[in-house]
Structure formats: structure tokens, C-alpha cells
Chain A
Amino acid sequence: MASTACFVIVSKNDIPIYEAEVGSAPKKEDLAHQHQFILHAALDVVQDLAWTTNAMFLRSVDRFSDLVVSVYVTAVHTRFMLLHDSRSDDGIKSFFQEVHELYIKIFLNPLYLPGSRITSSHFDTKVRALARKYL
């Protein structure tokens, strides 16, 4: 499991709707900030890159020192952004795909307003479990 991993889901209007520190390293508040800054800045690249390819999974679109940003863009342009230091592309890809399925389930919930914050604790638990499994 990666020591550092920050996972953020950004809605299509650029608002973060889910945030999770999924790394195994002890959580530090200041780092959480730092990670969000990196992820936010990486949105610029994703914005350009997402239209050049059909693939949903964009690996390492940006790097900040030893941290790499990988992105998964869904069809409605919701972006799953993962800041990580691990190198296993396959694991990250599987992680994204599984999270995508979870996200679709959230989306199917008639009480969920698309684009709003994901507060489901079930989702959170599942995402963290997936992170332990793949990252």
C-alpha cells in the first residue's frame, strides 16, 4: 500500500465532492492541504488532456516532487484524482475502475443530487477498502 495517497472526486463544475486521505502514512493536516493544492493545480492539465484521448484513465498527468497525480475521467467529466507515490499503474487503474462502479451506484440513488457532495459513509468505507486493496 502506498504511503501517501490523496483521493479526490471533482465534479464536472470543478468542485470537489469527495475527499479522502487513503495513504498508510500517519495523517497530517498540513499535508492534506498540500495535497489539495497539488490536485487543484493539476486540474489545468486534466482539462487539456481529457479531450485528447478516449481513455478514461490518464496516468501521471502531473508530478510534484515525488508525488504523481493520476486521473480517471468519467463520461460526464467527473474526475477521480489520485495523488500517490506508488508506481503500480495497474493497481491504480483497478482502483479507479472499482471506484467508478461505486460512484455509479451513488449516482443511481434517487436522493442523490448530481454534483453534490458525497457524504455516504458506505461509499467512504468502500473507497478506503479499495485503496488498501489496490494501492
Chain B
Amino acid sequence: MEDYPEELRTPPVSLVSIVGCPELHPSISAALSSQQPPMNTLALPDFSKASILARSGKARDPLAPPQAPAGILKKDWLLKHRTRVPAAVAALFRADQVSGDPAQWLQACSDLENLKSAIQGKNTKLVVVLVQAQASDELSEDVTVALRKRAEIDSRHMIVLVEQDETEWSRSLSKLKNVFAELCSAFYKEEGRRIKARIEKRNFSSVELSIRYCFKVAVYAEFRRDWPEALKFYEEGVRVLREMIGTSTRLPPTQRLVEIKAVAEQFHFKISTLLLHAGKVVEAILWFRKHIRSYERVVGTPEVAFLHWEWFSRQFLVFGELIETSAATVPDTLSPRFGTADNALTEWEFQPAYYYQLAATYLREKRYAIECSSSVANLTTEASGIPESVMPSVYVGQYVRLFEQGDTVSVLPLSDTEYTSYALSEAERFQDSYEIIALFRKAYESFQSLGATRMASACSRGMAIEYYAAGDFSNAKQLFDGVAGLYRQEGWTTLLWENLGYLRECSRKLNFLKDFISYSLEMAALPLFSGSGEENRENKIKSGPGGSPTISRRENIQQEVINVLKRKQAPDGTNDEFDNAMEETTHLDIDQISPLRMVLTASVAFHDQSVKPGSPLLISVSLLSHLPSPVVVDQLEVQFNQSDCNFVIHSAQEDSPPLDSNLHDQVVEATSLTLFTNKWMRLTREIKSGQSGKLECLSVKATINKHLVICCHAESPASMEDFPLWKFEDHVETLPTKDNVLAFSGQKLIQVEEPDAQVDLVLNSAGSALVGEIFIVPVTILSKGHAVHSGELKINLVDAKGGGLLMSPREAEESESHDVELLGVSTVDGKELKEEVDSIRKIQYSFGVVSVPTLSEGDSWSCKLEIKWHRAKSVMLYVSLGYSLGSTEEEALHRLNVHRSLQIEGQIPLLVTHQLLRPFRREPLLLSEIRSLGGDDKKCSLAMNESNMFIVNARNCTEVPLRLHSMTIEPDDDGKQLCSVQQVSGISNGHAVIAPSEEYKGIFSVNPRASSSNFHLGDICLNWSRDSSLGEDQETHVIMKQRLPEEIKYSLVDSQNFVFSGAHNHAAFILPKSEHTVSHKLVPLGSGSQQLPRITVTSVRYSAALTPSTSAATVFIYPSEPKFNLETSCSTSDECVS
């Protein structure tokens, strides 16, 4: 658009001229141009310059026959009207010039005459301006009238400017402006009407004039800002112009076409500008479409096709720029549904990028056309040469040759041949490539920002092809790479094919052997099955260097790679390629996301999931290639994370020694390693498993033709992905292994187990543990074949019932005490591991870690675990030995573990019960209030100042005999004051042995000294040990307490040994802290120990009944004098409220 002249790009502005008084010109022209609409001023300092306003062209002889016009539009016509043909002329005179001196008056008159004669014959209007210093300087009426008469103007067009006074000045200036505006409008209207009349009368001799008139009328309308009329006449002009293509014969056909197109371009530009300025985007686009459609086929002869494409491309470029600059957006009223009946436009047509992209495409077309034309021109018109001094003529789109003969310079028309060679030489001077790239880049960025990645990559591809054509291969390669990524992802294989073809050539040109090979292989492995198309030169240009996508071409490409590898001459004849890159082998890495996966894929599966170290295991290696021709692999190297397991398979045909002779590798010979297209090559090998841990197959390296090493990452069949491009192709799918299960679940890694530990860990237990004692568990480590280095013994105590911890978390918070506690570890010689305090890392309540000294083969070591039970509980003891086979760092990493566990029951050793025996009555048959009660944990009443028997039973609940060392009652302070306790029978010989489930009875006499309702007798202390081991203390508490109830009912049951008097059932109220005595008279019927009638006491409130135990209700009847009355008294306070 910048190439267009200024006057075409901007809307026309009316032109007025002012003559005389040059000091006022700046302010006047500034005022006029700031007006709305603005006016341009042609300022002439004095009247002598007025002649330039006169018609410059030679006066045409009105009688001469009308000549055929030599062209459609004159190039400078528009410029002339915008800069040299004013619509109105103002003659400025100072007041003193016209009022005083007659000589000056005469001068003014002659100036005016000159001006009048200059504008004579035109419609240019004349205005006379008188400049006064002050408003008060009133000019005489006759002077102004005389001046007006001289100038032959209307009184309205006689204006007085007042210079000094500010307000007067602006007032008079605005008057001048109004007069000018009115005159301009009248002038352009008149001019327009004049020309329009000619069109309407069809008063012209040729079609060229018709177009010219249309243009003029439209421009005049534009001057008047009458846009609809301008549009109408421009469109009319375009219509006539289009019709003219076939009819005009004025110029040779090529030049005629060029001229028509140049004019059409101007018309179209004007129309587009007008439409876009009016906000009619849709109309502008539709108009553009129409414009393009009417000219796209008007290519002309093939030699000048490039001119057409250049012009055509420019149309798109200019329209794109117009859309961009006019900032026109898609109108809201437009339906968002593009491409429907009510909206025939596509979304892109509102985007400048769309036009840039097309402009670039057509510019490329031009480049192709130039290439064709130049080659033809070079062959045919070698002799004729390029005509000299060709220049644009005065008409738009025409070229002429200057011809000098002596002093006279004449202008000669060109022949078509001359013109063609001139245009060709001109066109060849330009580097279109950069233009094309710039356009594509602009479009690319725009589409990218719109989120249209596919359009953007189409532009990117355009750029890349241009770079390729311009020989900038590294840029081209980079861009092609980006585009290829998208096509790969979306699976448009034909497009990918073409891209890769370019990429391949780029790498060839850049001498990148590795890239060349990888692109070639990818191309060869693409899934393309379209029919065979023969290649020709034209195809090669348009479908890129890759050729047409056929199977045969794929095979060719594969063969080319082989040939390059074999250092043979490539079929293209470029025999020097890759000479320096061939020195070494080429490595290609193929991982799971590489596009080269189609070329070679390795699937590796172990047949087992885990294996013992050192034992043989089977591995299946399967290779698949989609290359069209069979691939011969020289050598296959399978690599693992444990390099000892690596192995190499050589093809039997391979007669040269292996390239890579790794000592570790196992070398295997195979008959033939040939990969056929889409067929798995399956190899099963037996290898020795290495060290324990993970054994993973990392990669499979295939060496092809000695110089190409393809390193495939190994894939597990279980997690193998589909081939992205081949996934949906119609071909037979096979499994990597014959074994179906392996094909779906095989893994490329295997777990090599730890070697069996050859160390024995022995836990000895002496039955169940007893609560309170320190229980010893001896642990013995016996090495049977392994030396133990940096051994470590871990001890763990876990609740056998589950739950892990030996106490509940809540308990742990509440107290520090544990039910079972690991106290320590001692070595076999008895001393604590004090000197090895460092090596005992930790002993906690339930967990301990102990280090084991280094043991050589056959040695043993033992220690003892000391565990104490606080409560009867079953516990699992876990002991694990971790050790390594050597002290070196490497060996230290491989630790072997031996685990043992043992369940140990915790038992309560002695069950302690007690019993109180109250003294029998001294007097026969007269019972005291006190009697013996059951040994339960009940409150008893004891006789004061009497010796009461207190019997403590200790029963052995274990299965081992226990030795009782002492049994004492340790009274507390309370007990000491209130009673005295004496041991009646003690333990003889220092200890007493209690066999399992036997009982030991200790007898004490308790003598209460004071009356107390509630006292604590003391603690029973038992000191015991296992019959053969150390003893421990044991305490038993006996607590006696008293409580006070209230209302009771009681009943008596008959007994066969007694007769009694009194109520069987009765109720009584007992006040707190009081006693109630129920009295019955009994007559015994027999002697001896007899059962008294049973009394049952019931508390009404609590519905709790109490029956005294049998022993409490037994009396001994002396067999003496009969007829005695017995009395039972039950202490109601005995009642226990539960």
C-alpha cells in the first residue's frame, strides 16, 4: 500500500489559492486546513506567480478531430487537482494599496487582470480580499465597488479582513472560510456535472474516455465528500474496464492487460478504502471477492504470467493492509455463523492474516512463473537483449522507451517482446523470497495469536519452503521441524511425508548425516499406500523433494540410506555428500516418544517375574520394523542395568570381527538377523541373572551396515503403546512374543532375589514367662557358610493378639509403664555390653538394636535378651539379623536378613487369696458377734482385743515349681496403730517349694486394738523365685472397708437341725450408722457342726439380697446339756450394696 502515491491513498482535499500579502499566508492556510472539512491552500506570494494557475497543457484546437486517447488515466491528473488546480483563488490587497496612490491602484487593477486571465477558461472562482489594519479604517464605498467591478465578482465574494483586532480578524477569517467552502463545493459540483454530462450523453469517442470520465466524476464527488456517488462511479468504471479486456486493441495485448490491471487496481483501491471507511466491512470483502474473481483468470501469455501473479498478490496484500489499518472488526449485527446462507463469508476473511497468507502464496506463484519465464527467455531471446531507457509513461500502467536522436528526445511505444524482456529483467532484480517470508511470518504470528495452530503451521510451512528455495537450509529445517511435529501428532501422513522430504534435503544440504538418516528412515516407515504416481519434473517442484508418497518411493528412500551407509554414490548424483561425517558410526536413539519408533521397536520380556541370583533365566527380545524393505542387522547388543548380563548376537553372515568387543558381554551367534516389514523378529536367549536386586533391560542396539547403530529403548510388552501413525492402518497386528500371556504381561525387568542366608539364628525359650521375673531369652547366631560382617540384630516385641504396640496409645499417654518391657541384652559371658555401648544403638521398651561382632564361617555368637512382664500377656518376639558378606562398600550394599520369631506367654505365677477366721466363742454355744467370712475381698469385722486368724493362700498357677522365700504382712501406718499382726507359722528352711497347682498357706494372727469402722490392714509381701532361678518380690493388697445402708427386709428359712421361734419374714428400717438386731430363739436338734437356718437380707431400695455364706452360718453344737436357747444375730451392717 505504501507503493501507492500519496494522493491515491488519502481522501482528496479541496484546494484554494491565495495571492498577495505573503505575510498573512501562514495564518490563513493554517485556519483553512484546520477547518472541517479541511482545505489545502496554494499560497502564491505575489501576483507574478499567478501564471502557474494557468492551464499548462497546450490549447487544443477545437476544430481538430478528436484524437483517440493514448491511455486510460493520466498519472498526474489526481495530483494536479490536488496541488495545482485550485477551486477558488483569493486576491489579497492591502487597503492602502487600493485607496491612496493612483499608481498603486493601477498596479492592483493590472494584477487582478492577470489573475483573471490566468484562471480564464476554468471554473475557478475568484475572491477579492481587502486587508485593513483596523476595523475603523472604513474604505470608501466607491473603491470597493470599483474593485468588485474590475474583478467581476459578486459582492458576497468581496471580503474585508481586519488585521489588528483579534475578534474582528477571526470573524472576518471565518467569513472567508465560509466563502471558500461554498465556492469549492460549487466548483467541484460544476466540474463533476460537466464530466457527468459527457458520460450521460455518451459524448466520447472511446471506451478509455468513458473510464477516465468515471474516474474524474468519482474524484470530484470525493472532493465534495459525496461518497455514494463516488462509489457509484468507481464501480461503473470498474465494470467498463473489465469489459474492455476483450475489446480494446489500442495496445499490444500484454501491455494492454498490464494497463487495465493497473487501472483496475486504482479503482479497486479507491472502492475498498471508501467502503472500509464507511464501516461496511462485509461489503468491502464481498467487493474484494468479486474483484479477485473477475481478474484471477486474466493471466495473459505464459511469459508474462509472473506479472499477473505479482499484481494478484499485491491485491491481497493491499486489501489485508487496508483491513488491518481500518481496524474494522466483524460487525456485531453479523451472524456468528459463518458460511451460512445469511453470511457467506468465512471467519478468516475478516482477518488480515488470511490475505497476507494468500498474498504470499501468489507471490510464490510469481516466483515459479519467473523461473519458468527466465529459463525460456534465456533460451530464445538471448540475442535481442533488454531494451534500454524504458520508463513509465504519463499514463497509468504504461511504459515507453525514450529515444534520443541528436537533441530531440522522443517517446516511442514498446513492442510486447520488448516490454516482456524489460519486465522480466526488472522482476528478476527483486528478491521475492524475503517478501514472501515476511508475509508468511506476519500471517503466522497473527494466526498463532488467534489460536489457529493449523493455519499457523500452514504459514510456517510456507516460510520454510521459501527459506529452502532461497538456500537458507538451517532456517528451513527449523521451521519444517516445527510443522512436522503437528502433522505427526494429527496423523496427516501425506503432509508429513512432504515435510520430511524437505527436511531430508535440508539435512543433506547441511551435511547432517544423522538427521538425514533419521528423516529418511521415518519417511520410509510412514504408512502410505496411495497408488503409484509417476514422477516428473513439475511434480518435483510442487510436491517437494520427497517425491510422491508411494511404496516404491519409500523403498527407494530406504535404499538410499543403505547406499549412503555403504558410501556408495547416491542416486541423485551428489557423490561428495557426507564425506566428512562418514568417519564414524552414526548413532540413533529411539525412545518411546521418538517418531522413529516406527523404524525399529524393541520389546523385551523376561519369562519369569523373579529369579534366584546366579540361576539361568529366559529372555525374549523382539524387534519390529515398518520399513518397507527387509533390514539386515549385523549385530544386536542387548544392554541391562547390570552390565554383566549384557549380550551380543551376531549375524552368522557377518564375517568381520565384532566392532565392540566388551569382555563382559556374552557373544552369541545367530543364523540370520533380518527384519521383515511389520513382522516381529523374536529371539529368546538364556542369560545368567546377576546380583540380587532389579535386573532391567535398558536398550537394544542394532548395528546396521556397520556404520549405523540404532539404539532402541527396551519396552515391556505389557506397557507397550501403539504406533501413533500405524495404529489405525489396516494391517495385520502381531504380538511381540509367541506366548500370548507374555505378550500381554511380559516385563522388561525382573527381580533377582537375595541369596539364601547361610546363618542360623536360634531363639531358645524356657516356656512361658512369669509376671514379675526377668525373663531371659537366649539368642544364638550360628554361621554355617557365610561370614557375618557388620551384623545387626533387631529385636521387636509385639502384642501377639495384634495391634502391634504393647500398650494402647491411650495408655501410652497416661503412663510410662509397659506391660512387657525389653530391659537389656547381655552377652553370653554374663557381662552387660557396656564396653560396646556405642554399638548398642538403641534399646527401647519394645524395640532394640544390637550390633553383632564380625563372625567368620563356623563361628557362633550369642546373647541374652532380658524381658520383663508386668502383666500377663502373650507377646511375639521378633528377632532379625541383618548382615553383609564382606566389609567392602560394594558388598555392604547387599545385606542379607534372617528372621526368627517366637511367641511367649506371660503368666501370673501365684494366685494369692486370703481368709479371716474369727475366734470361736469361749463359752460353749455362745457365739460372739464376729464370725469368719469368706476370703473374698469383702469387708470384715474383727473382734477387738482378740486374736483373729488371717490365712493367706498362695496358689501356684504355673507349670513349674516355685520357691517361696518369705511371706509377710507389711502393715501401713494405720494398721500399725490399730492392730498388731503376728506370723503364726512361717517358712521353714528359708524357703518353701510349691509344686504346680499346689497351695501354700501362711497363717497370721491379727489383734485389733481399737474400734474402727474402716481400716487398712496392710500389704501381703511374697518373695518367690523359680525353683531353680532367682527370686522376685510379690505384693498383694487386702483392703477392708465398710459402708452404711438403710432399709432392709429379711426372711428366715427353716432348718432341719433347729426349731426356732419368731417371724419367718419381717422388715425393718435401719438408720444410718445404727445397728438393728433381729432376735430368734433356736433350739438345736442335734449336736456337732450344724447349719443354722438361713437368713436372707434384702435391701428394698436396691432390691439386693444378701445370704450369709454357709461357713458363716455354721455353729458347733456341743453335745452337753440340752435345752439351750441359741441366738443368731446378723449384723445388718454386713450388707454390701452393690
Contact surface of A with B, Cβ cutoff 8 Å: 11, 13-17, 19, 28-30, 32-34, 36-37, 40-45, 48-49, 52-53, 55, 58-66, 70, 113, 115-117, 119
A44 and B455 contact, CB distance less than 8 A? yes
- Report A21 CB to chain B, min CB distance, Å: 10
* B495 interface residue per 8 A CB criterion: yes
Interface flag for B347 (CB, 8 Å): yes
Q: Are A66 and B339 in contact (CB under 8 A)?
A: no
Contact B458–A41 (Cβ < 8 Å)? yes
Cβ A30 vs Cβ B543 within 8 A: yes
Q: Is B728 an interface residue (CB 8 A)?
A: yes
A40 touches B495 (CB 8 A): yes
Identify B358's interface contact among A58, A65, A70, A119, CB under 8 A. A65
CA gap between A48 and B452 in the complex, in Å: 9
Cβ-defined contact, A33 with B542, below 8 A: yes
Per the bound structure, the CA–CA distance linking A53 and B340 in Å amounts to 10
List 5 A-B residue pairs with CB atoms under 8 Å apart, sorted by A's residue number: A29-B533, A29-B539, A42-B454, A49-B339, A116-B729
Those of B668-724 within 8 Å (CB) of chain A = none
Whether B339 and A15, one on each chain, are in contact in the complex, defined by CB atoms closer than 8 angstroms, is no
Bound Cα distance A66, B490 (Å): 27
Question: Contact at A66–B296, with CB atoms within 8 Å?
Answer: yes
Q: Cβ of A49 and Cβ of B338 under 8 Å apart? A: yes
Most buried by B among A58, A64, A117: A117
A56 to chain B, nearest CB (A): 13
**Interface SS, A side:** mixed
Which residues of B are found within 8 Å of A62, using beta-carbon distances? 346, 348
Task: Provide the bound-state CA to CA distance between A68 and B1002, in Å.
Answer: 117
Cα A36 to Cα B293 with chains together (Å): 23
The answer to whether A37 and B339 touch across the interface, beta carbons within 8 angstroms, is no
Q: A63 vs B339: C-alpha distance in the bound complex, in angstroms?
A: 10
Which among B346, B727, B729 is the interface contact of A45 at CB below 8 angstroms?
B346
Tell me whether A40 and B492 are in contact (CB under 8 A).
yes
The CA of A37 and the CA of B491, in the complex, are separated in Å by 13
Q: B498 near A: Cβ within 8 Å?
A: yes
Contacts A15-B728, A29-B539, A117-B730 given; does A61 touch B495 at CB 8 Å:
no
B767 within 8 A of A: no
Q: Does residue B114 face the partner (Cβ distance < 8 Å to A)?
A: no
Question: Is the CB–CB distance between B730 and A116 below 8 Å?
Answer: yes
> Which residues in B have their C-beta under 8 angstroms from that of A34?
542
Does B616 belong to the interface (CB within 8 Å)? Answer: no
In the complex, residue of chain B having the shortest beta-carbon distance to the beta carbon of A61 = B339
8 A Cβ contacts from B481-512 to A: 487, 490-492, 494-495, 498
Q: A63 contacts which of B346, B487, B730 (Cβ < 8 Å)?
A: B346
**CA of A15 to CA of B491, assembled, Å:** 5
A70 cross-chain contacts in B, Cβ below 8 A = 339
A15 to chain B, nearest CB (A): 4
Given contacts A16-B491, A66-B293, A116-B730, contact A49 B347 (CB under 8 A): yes
Closest 3 CB pairs of A and B: A30-B542, A116-B728, A15-B491
Residues of B with C-beta under 8 A to A28: 539
Q: State how many angstroms separate the Cβ of A76 from the closest Cβ of chain B.
A: 15
Residues of B near A113 (CB, < 8 A) are: 728
CB within 8 Å for A14 and B490 given contacts A40-B458, A49-B347, A66-B293: yes
Interface residues of B in 211-247 (CB under 8 A from A): none
A96 to B455, CA, bound (A): 24
Task: Report the minimum CB–CB distance from B296 to chain A (whole Å).
Answer: 7
Q: Determine the chain B residues whose CB is within 8 A of the CB of A65 once the complex forms.
A: 292, 296, 358
A17 adjacent to B728 (CB under 8 Å): yes
Q: Across the interface, which residues of A come within 8 angstroms of B728, CB to CB?
A: 11, 15, 17, 113, 115-117
Shortest distance from the beta carbon of B742 to any chain A beta carbon, whole Å: 24
B494 lies within 8 A of A60 (CB): no
CB pair B347 A43 closer than 8 Å: no
Chain B, residue nearest A112 (CB): B730
Closest A residue by C-beta to B450:
A44
Q: Is B539 in contact with A61, judged by CB distance below 8 angstroms?
A: no
Residues of A within 8 A of B452 (CB): 44-45
Residues of chain B with a CB closer than 8 A to A11's CB: 728
Query: In B1008-1041, which residues have CB < 8 Å from any A CB?
Result: none
User: Taking the complex as formed, is B132 at the interface, i.e. its CB lies under 8 A from any CB of chain A?
Assistant: no
Contact (A29, B296) CB under 8 Å given A14-B490, A52-B336, A60-B344:
no
Is B548 positioned at the interface, with any CB of A under 8 Å from its CB?
Answer: yes
Residues of B within 8 A of A16 (CB): 491-492
Complex Cα distance A82/B728, Å?
22
B1043 at the interface (CB under 8 A from A): no
Contact A37 B458, beta carbon cutoff 8 Å: yes
Q: Which residues of B contact A117 (CB under 8 A)?
A: 728-730
In the assembly, what is the distance between CA of A98 and CA of B544, in Å?
36
Tell yes or no: B642 within 8 A of A by CB: no
B369 to chain A, nearest CB (A): 15
Further 17 A-B residue pairs, CB within 8 A, beyond A61-B339, A62-B346: A16-B492, A33-B542, A36-B492, A37-B461, A40-B458, A40-B487, A40-B492, A42-B454, A44-B453, A45-B348, A49-B337, A49-B339, A58-B340, A59-B341, A66-B296, A116-B727, A116-B730
